[in-house]
Amino acid sequence: MAAYSLPDTFWQDVDTFTTLLLQYNQTHNISGAKSKEVVLKNVEDSIYPLEYLHVNEIKSAIDIGTGAGFPGLLLALALPHVHFTLFEPIAKKSAFLHLAKTTLELKNVDIATNRVEKVAPFKVDLISSRAVTNTKMLVKLCKHFIDPSTTLLFYKGELVEEEIKGLSNCQVYQRDKRYYLVMKDVDAA
């Protein structure tokens, strides 16, 4: 599959996002990313799965526990044709997401200062999450958003194989110490 080509403004927007995050982080400490290099590593981590996702089939997405924007906000920058709802229950992180959305003029992003399991579900093509909880708990939290065509993209650590025991339709991609878990046709019962 050919690599997804990023929008022309992507890296310029990332530069704006990086400056904003580093400034905001000095006061509010919302991310462990304290340098431009670390932010860029997180950006690359966030967009890496675009290499193997069928992005043209995705029209709507949610990101669970977006934090400082990884991966949801970066995926929204990379996929301007996809409408993203970013779930972040922690107010100071959600406030940063609102600031970033406004500064970057992101029309394809909504921010929910809430937990995903507390919101009335709606149909989505993609569910992403990074560093929130184990895989089975994530599936349980977002089960009402999942239908047979929904793709789940979870950014996992070294315990991914342990976490997916008993689950079907799982594909794991690895890059350095990051494991990208892609699941389709998930039984969310």
Specify the CATH number for the domain of residue 160. 3.40.50.150
Which of 41, 65, 63 is closest to 108 using CA atoms?
Answer: 63
Per DSSP, helices labelled H in 131-185 are: 135-141, 160-163
Task: Say if residue 130's pLDDT is above 60.
Answer: yes
Q: Are strands 170-175 and 178-184 parallel, antiparallel or unpaired?
A: antiparallel
Mean pLDDT of 92-114: 97
Which residues are within 8 A (CB) of 151 and not within 5 positions of it... i.e. 6 or more apart? 53, 54, 58, 125, 126, 127, 182, 183, 184
Task: Please count the structural domains in the chain.
Answer: 1
Residue 43 lies in a domain: yes
Contact 97, 123 (CB under 8 A): no
Q: Is residue 1 part of a domain?
A: no
Mean pLDDT of 91-101: 97
**Domain-embedded: residue 101:** yes
* Residues 127-155, mean pLDDT to the nearest whole number: 92
Where does the pLDDT of residue 188 fall: very low under 50, low under 70, confident under 90, or very high at 90 and above?
low
pLDDT of residue 3: 62
The model's confidence at residue 132, banded by pLDDT at 50, 70 and 90, is: confident
Q: What integer pLDDT is reported at residue 1 of this predicted model?
A: 40
Is residue 92 in some structural domain? yes
CA distance 57 to 49: 14
When the pLDDT of each residue in the chain is averaged and rounded to a whole number, the result is 93
Judged against a pLDDT cut of 50, whether residue 37 lies above it is answered with: yes
Mean pLDDT, range 164-187, rounded to an integer: 89
The answer to whether residue 4 sits within a structural domain is no
- Is 2's pLDDT higher than 90? no
The pLDDT assigned to 167 comes to 84
State the Cα–Cα distance between residues 61 and 87, nearest whole angstrom: 11
Torsion of CA 10, 24, 31, 81, to 10 degrees: -30
pLDDT of residue 84: 98
Could you give the CA distance from residue 90 to residue 32 in angstroms, rounded to a whole number? 15
How would residue 4 be classed by pLDDT, with cut points 50, 70 and 90? confident
**154 - beta bridge partners?**
129, 181
Q: Does residue 5 fall inside a structural domain?
A: no
Decide if 142 is inside a domain. Answer: yes
pLDDT at 125 over 80: yes
Q: How far apart are CA 176 and CA 169, in angstroms?
A: 23
Q: Which domain holds residue 63?
A: 10-184
Whether residue 49 is contained in a domain is answered as yes
